Amino acid sequence: MKKIDKLLLTSFVGPFAVSFGIALFVLVMQFLWLYIDDIAGKGISIFILLELIGYMSISIFPMALPIAVLIASVMVMGNLAERYELSSMKSAGVSLLRILRSLVVVSVGVAFFSYICSDFLIPVAMLKFKSRLYDVRKQKPALTLEKGVFNEDFRQFVIRIGDKARDGETIQNVLIEDQTNFGKLKFNQILADSGQMFTTADKRFFVMNLFDGAQYQEPSPQGSASNKGYPFVRTNFRSWTKVWDLGEFEMTRTDEDRFKSQRSMLSMNQLRKGIDSLYREIDTTRVEMATELMANLNRPLRRPDPPPRYTAAPDTTQLRGFAAKLKPKIKNPKWAAPPQAGVNTPGGPEVPRQALEKNLREYQSLVETFESKGREKLLRDAVNQATAGKLIVERRAAQIENRRKEAVKSGYELFSKYSFAAVCFVFLFVGAPMGAIIRKGGFGYPILVSIVFFVVFIMLSILCKKLAEAYVLPPFWAAMTPCIVLMVIGSYLTGRAMKDAQMFSTDRLDRLMLQLRRRFEKQV
């Protein structure tokens, strides 16, 4: 290994590790803040919380790796330029691309690691995270009995404590409403002057010992005796003990198979298969829609009436030919008039075209070609067929639209995995030239520059995702557009850095400020 490569690697590893840790912490806190309402107050152990944070951290790796590469590259090249080490290397005939060769290898390795995380680690981590989060959401809040507050944590029990001592066990003015026998008892309450509450040593049961109280019960009328009166029962006691099982507050594990079909839990190969299946379902749904429409339109044909002002029967040759094209398998349609003299029949004489058009003009509307006694029913059937056809089209169109949206989202999810891996390499040629141009190291300017470019990448990703869901861009180009834009910017910045050109020339601004200062001094 060349000394210059070793210098770049040792200078890059430290800032990269620190930047990755900071970015991962910030992103985890951002996502954790979204689920704080589901986690807070549930009494989950610290191990469950650490498990959730661990799974969430793995799922954020592809987003934290690019910003770590960007910050580290800006810091390394900024430090070299600030200490004039970069200028010395260029003076010795070493080009900027040769200086970045070791960092290119590292960025390719980071991109490959991001790809591995997206394809293998993240689906498993997201499956674990979603299932654990679902368990936490289902879990009841931790048992908290506050004074003056009606508590409904225990199933079918309502507890109210008037006052609680500092020791957390001695209680006063206790009210308990028991709803376990609601069908048999209209009213079942327990009132006590004082008591003591505690949890057993094995944390399995909650015990409440009450003193000097009474239990009030009112039976509910049953069956034929509903009109009869029942006595109101009051039972006094000196001591009364109630034990609740705390098992309902324990978190139960949900079967993870119910979450495996979500997009974020699928690998790239599974996403490809899912997209192919969705497009096959779209084609199948279109065929089924056409089949249902044709089945709805295939109705038995009726025999027409003769024209109202024409004595001879109308020529039905064209109608028979149209029916034969519409439904070739039907022979001798029911509506066809019997062969008559002077009409074009198979093997019969031909009727002149003018006579045929005259026969057709005798009808005022299409309805007149059908029997008069069945026209009203025919119109109702036509309306019903049109309504049924419209419903078929709307229902199948909604199914096609849902599958198409799912295919687009799955496609964007697939190609975004490649995009986040490729941007790790692209950000090197954005951050390194910017560090060489601004010539500032440390965490000040590098972090500011990195945040600007990372925000641009995130905004472009969100915009292109919306365009893909609106069918403006294909999923592939929607996922790759942010990388392409940053690649163009990186090429421009690399060219400027190789020429030792400033990003923004301030010579004119300095001359203008000098002229203004001189004029101000003369006036003073």
User: Any idea what the Cα angle at residue 58 is, between residues 52 and 61, rounded to 5°?
Assistant: 140
Q: Can you list the alpha helix ranges (DSSP code H) found in 152-301?
A: 268-297
Is the separation of the CB atoms in 281 and 403 below 8 Å? yes
- What pLDDT score was predicted for residue 298? 66
- What pLDDT score was predicted for residue 385? 80
Report the residue count for the chain: 524
Q: Give every CB contact of residue 494 below 8 A, 6+ residues apart in sequence.
A: 96, 97, 429, 432, 433
Low-confidence ranges of the chain (pLDDT < 50): 142, 308-314, 316, 318-320, 322-351
CA dihedral of 222, 225, 226, 228, whole degrees rounded to 10: -130
How far is it, in rounded angstroms, from Cα 423 to Cα 65?
A: 9
Is the separation of the CB atoms in 60 and 25 below 8 Å? no
How far is it, in rounded angstroms, from Cα 359 to Cα 339?
A: 15
- What pLDDT score was predicted for residue 263? 78
Query: What residue has token string 């699928």?
Result: 266
- Domain boundaries defined on the chain: 3-139+416-508, 150-249
How far is it, in rounded angstroms, from Cα 50 to Cα 70?
A: 28
Task: Specify which residues 191 forms β-bridges with.
Answer: 175, 214
Residue 372's Cβ-count burial label (10 Å; 0-12, 13-18, 19+) is exposed
Q: Give every CB contact of residue 485 below 8 A, 6+ residues apart in sequence.
A: 456, 460
Record the pTM.
Answer: 0.64
- What pLDDT score was predicted for residue 343? 43
Backbone angles phi, psi at 493, to 5 degrees: -65, -40
- What pLDDT score was predicted for residue 325? 45
How far is it, in rounded angstroms, from Cα 421 to Cα 114?
A: 5
How far is it, in rounded angstroms, from Cα 524 to Cα 520?
A: 6
- What pLDDT score was predicted for residue 256? 58
